[in-house]
Amino acid sequence: MVLILALALIGGLFLLPKGIVKPKEGKGELTKDAARTANRDGGGPATNGSKADASSGPVSAEVGPATSPAGPTAAAPHTTATPAQRQELNSLLKQLAAAGTPAKQAAAATLLARRYENVQRFDSAGYYYEQVAAAQPGPQALQQAADAYFQAFSFASSDARIKLLGGKARELYTKVLAQSPNNLDAKTNLGMAYMASDNPVQGVTLLREVLAADPNNEKALYDLGILAVQSNQFDKAVERFQQLVKVNPRNVNGQFYLGVTSARTGAKEQARTAFLAAKSLSNDPALAASVEEELAKLK
């Protein structure tokens, strides 16, 4: 079984772990690890909603090169839109085009964004949430757009997509924080988005600022723990995950990675206890298999 990291670079989504971070993996691999489900956001060189077929947006709502009535294809392996969903999306696009007031534009764009989320086209969802924010400005609408782009970024499978979507997430989270500087959720995700940029130090700085404001912030503790693993600083990673499970003993990811990092530092009993705790908290068979494999290594 090939072990991989279940971090979706999404500090806040807390996906169940599907494996471990290999110390040899670099930043590029880390940014793509969240799901080994290539192109969950659909791929493509641009992220401009309905503006182009190259977008990983409306293609999913149409019978075209990226999909078919029978379901997903190699070009969009995790995107499924039923004929009824495609019909609804096309109808909503027409409603948006015909909307004559900001309120109607925001309502139509919101529905489009939600429907694109349903078919896992997160960058298109972000595009339409941006339109909501333009029609009805405010930090909440901006964060919806930022969160959608961040999710698309988390599942991107190419360096170009990671750069593009990470940039959009950073742009929007920066705007959110300009209006709501105490929004720690936005600051945490912004920090993780910076890790795939040319300025990863800024990402670490932001995550530490979150912990300075809230020492028990689960997302920041988890993300800093994962980053410590990626840089082979297992002692530091253990400290982060110990604090995380102290704050929330039912945090599955925290328990799992406490086991991983404890094993790396030679604390076998602590590792065994953490692995068993993680297994007891989830019915995920992939997690159970990973735990059993890690426990076997401790013998």
The DSSP code sequence of 121-172 is: -HHHHHHHHHHHHHHS-SHHHHHHHHHHHHHHHHH--SHHHHHHHHHHHHHH
What pLDDT does residue 86 have? 76
pLDDT band at residue 6 using 50, 70 and 90 as cut-offs: very low
| Mean pLDDT, the chain, whole residue set | 76
Residue 48 has pLDDT above 90, yes or no: no
Distance set, CA 190 to CA 2, 211, 237, 285 (Å)? 30, 14, 21, 32
- Confidence category of residue 40, pLDDT binned at 50, 70, 90: very low
Q: Which residue bears the tokens 């077929």?
A: 53
Q: Which of 31-35, 130-134, 213-217 shows the lowest per-residue confidence on average (mean pLDDT)?
A: 31-35
Is 28's pLDDT higher than 70?
A: no
Contact 92, 111 (CB under 8 A): yes
The pair of structure tokens assigned to 8 is 């979706």
Digit-coded pLDDT (tens) for 150-196: 999 988 888 888 999 999 999 999 999 999 999 999 999 999 999 98
> Using only C-alpha atoms, what is the Rg of the chain?
20
Q: What is the pTM of this model?
A: 0.72
Confidence of residue 22 (pLDDT cuts 50, 70, 90): very low
34-48, 82-96, 206-220, 281-295: the lowest-pLDDT one: 34-48
Q: What percent of the chain has pLDDT over 70?
A: 73
Per-residue pLDDT at 281 exceeds 50: yes
From CA 217, how far away is CA 247, in angstroms rounded? 8
Question: Cβ(10)–Cβ(192) under 8 Å?
Answer: yes
Is the model's pLDDT at 57 over the cut of 60?
no
